[in-house]
Amino acid sequence: MIDPKVKNAVNAAFKYVQTVNPANAEPVKGQILTVFESELTFLQKVNGMDEVFNSNPKLEHLREIFFDLPV
């Protein structure tokens, strides 16, 4: 289960993303939430987040912010 504060942070970040890059905002948001909601180990979640951001270089500026959120 994802912490409600983390989910709120992801939603807030993607309100911004939708204004600057609306084409893939929802799918990427879904991928990030899937990683956070998973039962994977910490390092597996880190690898999952890396995959999401490596596949979406336009969102690189959000990488550190999302990695600082508790998993």
Task: Check pLDDT > 80 for residue 19.
Answer: no
Q: Is the pTM of this model over 0.75?
A: yes
Average pLDDT over residues 20-36: 87
Query: For residue 70, what pLDDT is reported?
Result: 81
Q: Tell me how far apart the alpha carbons of residues 70 and 29 are, in angstroms, rounded to a whole number.
A: 16
Query: For residue 66, what pLDDT is reported?
Result: 92
DSSP symbol at 24: S
Question: Sorting pLDDT into bands at 50, 70 and 90, what band is 36?
Answer: very high
Both tokens of 22, joined, read 């609306």
Task: Check pLDDT > 80 for residue 48.
Answer: yes
